[in-house]
Structure 1
Amino acid sequence: MYNRYGNILFKGNINKPEWDGKDSESNAVGGIAPNGVYFYVVYFNKGNKPSKQGRLYLNR
């Protein structure tokens, strides 16, 4: 998951598949990601399946 500036906020895998709305990649106070648009890229580990991209709006 990336913010609008291209900085990574979350990197999921089989052990950590869901984003909880926190900035797990920085040392921000509380780690809470602010309201806004966030972008994602999902890479599949199956053959030649193309990656999936999208965006979501976080509003608390």
Structure 2
Amino acid sequence: MVSREDEVKNRFRYLDILISAIVDHEKNLNDLILKLEKTVEKLSEIVEKIRKAEKLKEET
């Protein structure tokens, strides 16, 4: 039979693993968000260039 102390230790060990996994997941999500923000910025620049090119075409 598992002693009360061992049971508590096991629960804390499980919580530690769970919290570590959550923190790692959060870091991964933050990295993905940063990459998405950079991608959106690049796409916005491309769209702006296309709009300028179309505007120049219309003017000529």
TM-score by length of 1: 0.18
TM-score by length of 2: 0.18
Please identify which structure carries the higher strand content: 1
Determine which structure has greater relative contact order: mean sequence separation of CA pairs < 8 Å that are 6+ residues apart, divided by chain length: 1
